[in-house]
Structure 1
């Protein structure tokens, strides 16, 4: 079984466990049976990384109320260079905070409310278990 090292110990992925869950080695959660604990998905990790940058937080606000913007518009409104805006938007897209679509030669970005909602629900489940 592959192992994942966590901050407070080692957990092993259970062969019959629910996807997105791990079984804590030697833990029974007081029931006598192995305890399935939630595991943060790569999507949640990417989401948290995207949220961590103050510049990205500022960019996120540009998409309030359903705004759809090009890289150039984001750069102009955020007061940053176009390549910086493009890099920041790529991290926001990878984190599931914005989505993009092509309109001719232009790529337009907008907030991805559905994906943010799903990711926050996963994070909520994890935090409810541990905290």
Structure 2
């Protein structure tokens, strides 16, 4: 007797229409697997969400431009150059830091901020994967 595959056996022994049901179940399982994979990309990563929030403000966008070409600035310098008060500059810098756009280092009593290119690139990659999936 020649070798039979499971599909041959199902087709030979199943009542009429049951092999169609098996195919439908298999297709549904494949769709469920794809849906699970889609959900993994369907949501922005927390880092990408924080990145977008950080860039949502025109004031923060202006501040970010101050860090072009590797500039490292203190809160006071940012406040002066952006034309805002020091408390507001501090709040905006904190949001940019949470968004992975800036990083900081302490030197004595002064905190120095600079662009965090690596974290920004990672957030952009997450965002790009999300956009490729949905658009």
Q: Same-fold call, TM > 0.5?
A: yes
5+ residue gaps, structure 2: 1-26
Q: Aligned runs of 1:66-105 on 2, under 5 Å?
A: 66-105=70-109
Cα deviation for residue 43 of structure 1 reads 1.0
In structure 1, how many angstroms separate the alpha carbons of the residues matched to 2:65 and 2:104? Answer: 16
More helix by share: 2
Higher relative contact order (CA 8 A, sep 6+): 2
Name which one, 1 or 2, has greater alpha-carbon Rg.
2
The structure 2 residue matched to 1:59, chosen from 46, 63, 85, is 63
RMSD of aligned alpha carbons: 1.7
Pair 1:32-2:31 in alignment:
yes
5+ residue gaps, structure 1: 1-27
Number of equivalenced pairs: 104
> Structure 1 residue runs of 4+, over 4 Å off?
none
More strand by share: 1
The TM-score with structure 2 as length reference comes to 0.73
In structure 1, how many angstroms separate the alpha carbons of the residues matched to 2:31 and 2:85? Answer: 58
The TM-score with structure 1 as length reference comes to 0.75
